[in-house]
Amino acid sequence: MSNYAYIRILYALIFSILITIALFYLTLEIPYELDKYLHNYYPDIFWEFELREKFLNTIRPYDICL
């Protein structure tokens, strides 16, 4: 094999390693960012039963449509 082939294999290996690291990072980071974003629209109502029931009754029509 020529040096050109080795260089192409090396570039492909480096590119695949970078893609793997980026996907691993995004697998950990996207849920965290999505959680922060959604907390602005959906409050934390786990311990408050009345608010939880009100919220569920509010979104129930969307559930029926889907």
Tell me which residue range forms the domain holding 15: 3-65
pLDDT higher than 80, residue 62: no
> Considering just the CA atoms, what is the radius of gyration of the chain in Å?
23
> 55 is written with which tokens?
């919220």
Number of domains making up the chain: 1
How many Cα neighbours within 13 Å face the side chain of 4? 0
Model confidence band, residue 13 (pLDDT cutoffs 50, 70, 90): very high
pLDDT at 2: 83
pLDDT at 21: 96
pLDDT at 57: 83
Read off the pLDDT of residues 18-57 as tens digits, 9 standing for 90 and up. Answer: 999 999 999 999 998 998 888 888 766 667 778 878 888 8
